[in-house]
Amino acid sequence: MDIMWAALLGALGGVLPDFIKVIRKRFEKMPTYLGSWFYWLNVAFLAMMGAIASAIGHPSSIHEALAYGAGALALLTQAFGQNDEQHLGDAGRVNPIRQIRAWWGS
């Protein structure tokens, strides 16, 4: 597989778990963090990390490229995420590192 396709599919794999989380909560009240620039900056970071992981892994199939992108970030979020009562909706009261860890832990 071409490295560019691997990176694009890895980026898709990196953001896929977060989009599934949004779809899963579609019948609940829309979370306030979806309108936050901080949220979208983190989504871009996840896409970039998924792209890098997939490009480094040299996948041979589409499924493998998506798995590299999603798997690398699953490991990262499980290692550094935290469960916290305050989430991204409380941006004024929470420092950025705590916001990222809370988002990864949700």
Would you state the pLDDT for residue 101?
63
Q: What is the mean pLDDT of the chain?
A: 78
- Residue 20: give the domain boundaries: 3-105
Is the whole-model pTM more than 0.85? no
What would the two tokens of residue 35 be? 């309108």
Higher pLDDT residue, 105 or 48?
48
Would you state the pLDDT for residue 36?
79
Would you state the pLDDT for residue 6?
92
Per-residue pLDDT tens digits for 32-60: 777 778 888 888 988 998 999 999 999 99
Taking each helix axis from N to C end, the angle separating 62-80 and 37-57, rounded to the nearest 10 degrees, works out to: 130
Higher pLDDT residue, 90 or 95?
95
Q: What is the tally of structural domains in the chain?
A: 1
How far is Cα 10 from Cα 42, in angstroms, rounded to an integer?
A: 16
